Structure 1
């Protein structure tokens, strides 16, 4: 897997809204002095730098993790508070570093959950990373639109070799009761939900090309495609992107283009009663 940090850092449509929800949800938490904070799936760090001012000023560390080395290197190269550092780690690992277990007072993640094929291993790891009074805030897109596109591309013989990991991809939370699914999976690993909701955040633009550009900024499979095939790949990719868009004529008689994104937000804490039950 490869994804350009520079290109990914241009994905900014969600920054303001995520920050607004973080402000609201952070009021639910009991913040400890000198908190140790974990950010899962930090990417290039552009969202973390938006959220960081909302954390208590006396936090002792923010450890950023990402499964991609290029993201970690990029984040560590940015001007940042010296208490912030990044390491490469896949939250789905079956070999969790022992020095990280029970270390964190707060775990944060934005738009990472939909990338985790092994939800149970990921949530088990998260529970082990939290200390006994650990808390978390996650927010992510309910529908994996780009993943759906790759799954459809996998049915096209020419692109199947480049999208093989999406052949049997399943969105764990695209169902009628995503909060119930989340509650069940959290309870398995001793995490208790404080608040959770699903909200609609449609992305609206008068220029269709701007929505297309958004999907292209999230497309890392294109970097695997030989240059000689890239134009054809983009043509097929754009056809599937078009299926994600809705056109609507406003009161001013102008056409607006809409991608109906939905997000799930959750605040939770470690459940004392089940703290030792899972490992």
Structure 2
């Protein structure tokens, strides 16, 4: 998950859903008067932060910060997008927060990042601590996608199980949950968030060709597959997609124009930090 340049070219599903969710739910965000600070968690290459999120942030934003666990992604984002009011930093939202960041952001966003986190309570508690009083968060992440099904299938194969021993680390903790929105809302409320709204959307995304999907699969692959086995892994990956009827079974050419149709579940969550007396 460190090929920032490839990810920048391939993550069209993240950009599409970020835009759609902000257009549909962004009007519910109560923007403060005066200068504000904004954080984007799991910013990756910075493309969504600057190309989409920034367009929805009012002009009174004094500071926009993107953070990601990947040093390569952060380096790429700073090189491409950093300016006097925008910067990117390395931060593990599942780890210990630096004290200097606690309570410093009026708004926290995250798109397509939190499903990689297994310690959900830790991550959401950290988001709460990052927010200033009455600060708001707007979070978009996956409950299920066929990508997770592919990981599980390949991890059970004799051929790939050695390289995918920790497969569940890279699968959404909500994949087997029938009503993930209820679980997320309960967790956020127990942490202290108020005005909590959580929805689980059933969505479909069609990749126009397999080249784009191949780029995304390669750029987000979390497993350390040896270089000489990468092409073989990719072939098996796409064969599983065909078995799952994601890709037309009749197509045998990974680089061909065949479309791939993904049906997935997306969680949209919003909450506010309570006023501290």
TM category, shorter: 0.7 to 0.9
For the structure 1 residues 217 and 170, does the alpha-carbon distance in structure 2 shift closer, same or farther, using more than 3 Å as the test? closer
Aligned pair count reads 264
2:2 alignment partner in structure 1: 3
Q: Take 2:93 and 2:123, find their aligned partners in 1: how far apart are those partners?
A: 5
2:53 alignment partner in structure 1: 51
For the structure 1 residues 27 and 247, does the alpha-carbon distance in structure 2 shift closer, same or farther, using more than 3 Å as the test? same
1:23 alignment partner in structure 2: 23
Contact 1:146 1:215 in 2 (8 A): no
Contact 1:145 1:244 in 2 (8 A): no
For the structure 1 residues 98 and 257, does the alpha-carbon distance in structure 2 shift closer, same or farther, using more than 3 Å as the test? closer
Q: CA deviation at 1:201?
A: 2.7
TM-score, with length taken from structure 2? 0.85
2:68 alignment partner in structure 1: 66
Pair 1:270 & 2:273 matched: yes
For the structure 1 residues 169 and 52, does the alpha-carbon distance in structure 2 shift closer, same or farther, using more than 3 Å as the test? closer
TM-score, with length taken from structure 1? 0.84
Q: Take 1:244 and 1:82, find their aligned partners in 2: how far apart are those partners?
A: 48
Query: Alignment partner of 1:171: what SS?
Result: coil
Q: Unaligned 5+ residue runs, structure 1?
A: 249-254
1:252 alignment partner in structure 2: none
1:108 alignment partner in structure 2: 109
Any idea what the Cα deviations from partners look like across 1:121-172, whole Å, max 9, x if unmatched? Answer: 1111111111121101111222143333223322234423332221466533
Q: Take 2:246 and 2:4, find their aligned partners in 1: how far apart are those partners?
A: 26
Pair 1:261 & 2:258 matched: no
**Structure 1 stretches of at least 4 aligned residues deviating more than 6 Å after TM superposition:** none
Give the aligned CA root-mean-square deviation in angstroms.
Answer: 2.5
- More off after superposition, 42-51 vs 18-27: 18-27
Query: Alignment partner of 1:72: what SS?
Result: helix
1:125 alignment partner in structure 2: 126
Query: Alignment partner of 1:162: what SS?
Result: coil
1:85 alignment partner in structure 2: 87
2:255 alignment partner in structure 1: none
- More off after superposition, 61-70 vs 135-144: 135-144
Contact 1:9 1:44 in 2 (8 A): yes
Q: Unaligned 5+ residue runs, structure 2?
A: 250-257
Query: Alignment partner of 1:260: what SS?
Result: strand
Q: CA deviation at 1:56?
A: 1.1
Query: Alignment partner of 1:163: what SS?
Result: coil
For the structure 1 residues 17 and 169, does the alpha-carbon distance in structure 2 shift closer, same or farther, using more than 3 Å as the test? closer
